[in-house]
Amino acid sequence: MSVIEVVWMVAKILIVFAVLLLAMAYLTLVERRFVAWFQWRVGPNRVGPLGLIQPIADGVKLLFKQELIPAKADKFVYFLAPAITLIAAFAIISVIPITEHFYIADVNVAILLVLAISSLGTYGIILAGWSSGSKYPLVSGLRACAQMISYELALGFAVIGVVLMAGTFSLHEIVLGQERIWYFIPQILGFVVFLIAGVAETNRAPFDMPECENELVAGYHTEYSAMKFAMFYLGEYVAIINVGMLATVLFLGGWHGPAIFGAGLVGLANLFWFLLKTCAVIFFFIWLRATLPRFRYDQLMRFGWMVLLPLALLNIIITAGIKAFIQ
């Protein structure tokens, strides 16, 4: 690689991660305002005009809060756990194509890489629960482990239908294959399974059993404070953005959309459609949180194994049969 290519690569990394951090911060504000409107409350509106500086105030507060470490905690693992969760969440975006010509890396096995890295994030939660030296985080970690294993199967099988249609593991090539028809139309069953499993994978309501406050205080991060707690918080919201972008890339045509700008602004139009679709998926996550009550744990596990997994397998069989019949 030439010096210019290296500089451009570093610049893209900095741009993407800076924008992702900003988006994560203001996603917390957007969610709190939307949930407040759903529940006929006001929501955060005191810090800055319309509450726009609230995420900055929250970040400053967490930065200067006192660090409290449990006496019985395994110190090394206790500090390592939030770092694993955050790094795994941020690493996924490195292979997601935002527009046709703007992405950090185009890997020919990008889907496998995404599934592997997302599984790695589970270790952060498990280690946090175990290393805290407290029974509530430990139970939360075990719950998170069982839940993520269960729903990762359904999520992975839902993606296989897209792979069969596109004939590639490259996310960039998958988007290019949706120029005429978005995959959520022939893969509507896989799309529904992917969305539901994505909600469960990010521990969001109504699948937030690892953080069930009426049973487990705050779950795996009960004993975490200050910036270590903020790292778990960051990781969760970045994971939501990741699922939104993956749903857009795999099922909603990525950057494809009607031409709304001039021919010289194709890249801007592509970015607009990608962000709009991603925001729509994220709004779906917020809508679910404000609408549905939490599942019981046995209901959650039964739904994953007895409903989502068979539906995902059925989608693979139907897709493979259609592909074989057409060819």
More confident residue, 112 or 225: 112
Per-residue pLDDT, 162: 93
The sign one gets for the Cα dihedral 120, 275, 294, 193 is negative
Per-residue pLDDT, 256: 85
CA-CA distance, 178 to 97, in Å (whole number)? 14
Give start and end residues of each alpha helix (H) in the chain: 3-38, 54-64, 75-91, 110-131, 135-166, 171-176, 188-201, 213-216, 226-251, 266-291, 297-303, 309-326
Q: Please name which of 242, 240, 251, 253 lies closest in space to residue 288, comparing C-alpha atoms.
A: 240
Q: What is the per-residue pLDDT across 163-172, written as a single tens digit (0 to 9) for each?
A: 999 989 999 9
> Coil, strand, or helix at residue 160?
helix
Give start and end residues of each alpha helix (H) in 39-170: 54-64, 75-91, 110-131, 135-166
Per-residue pLDDT, 297: 81
Please, what is the average pLDDT of the chain? 85
CA-CA distance, 137 to 70, in Å (whole number)? 12
| pLDDT band (50, 70, 90) for residue 214 | low
CA distances from 57 to 26, 31, 100, 110, 234 (A): 12, 16, 36, 37, 15
Tokens of 145: 């482990």
| pLDDT band (50, 70, 90) for residue 327 | low
Q: What is the per-residue pLDDT across 8-62, written as a single tens digit (0 to 9) for each?
A: 788 888 888 888 888 888 898 888 889 898 888 888 888 888 888 888 888 888 8
Per-residue pLDDT, 1: 63
Q: Please name which of 110, 249, 133, 273 lies closest in space to residue 187, comparing C-alpha atoms.
A: 249
More confident residue, 220 or 238: 238
Q: What is the per-residue pLDDT across 89-110, written as a single tens digit (0 to 9) for each?
A: 888 988 999 888 888 888 888 9
Tokens of 263: 């021919």
Cis status of the peptide bond prior to 206, with omega within 30 of 0:
yes
CA-CA distance, 158 to 172, in Å (whole number)? 18
* pTM for the predicted model, two decimal places: 0.90
Backbone angles phi, psi at 218, to 5 degrees: -135, 10
Q: Which residues are CB-contacts of 121 (< 8 A; sequence separation ≥ 6)? A: 84, 85, 88, 89, 235, 239
Q: What is the per-residue pLDDT across 239-294, written as a single tens digit (0 to 9) for each?
A: 899 999 999 999 999 888 876 665 557 778 888 899 999 999 999 999 988 888 88
For the chain, how many residues are written?
A: 327
> What percent of the chain lies above the pLDDT cut of 70?
95
Q: Where are the domains of the chain?
A: 1-64, 65-326
Q: What is the per-residue pLDDT across 125-171, written as a single tens digit (0 to 9) for each?
A: 888 888 887 888 888 888 888 888 888 889 999 999 999 999 899 99
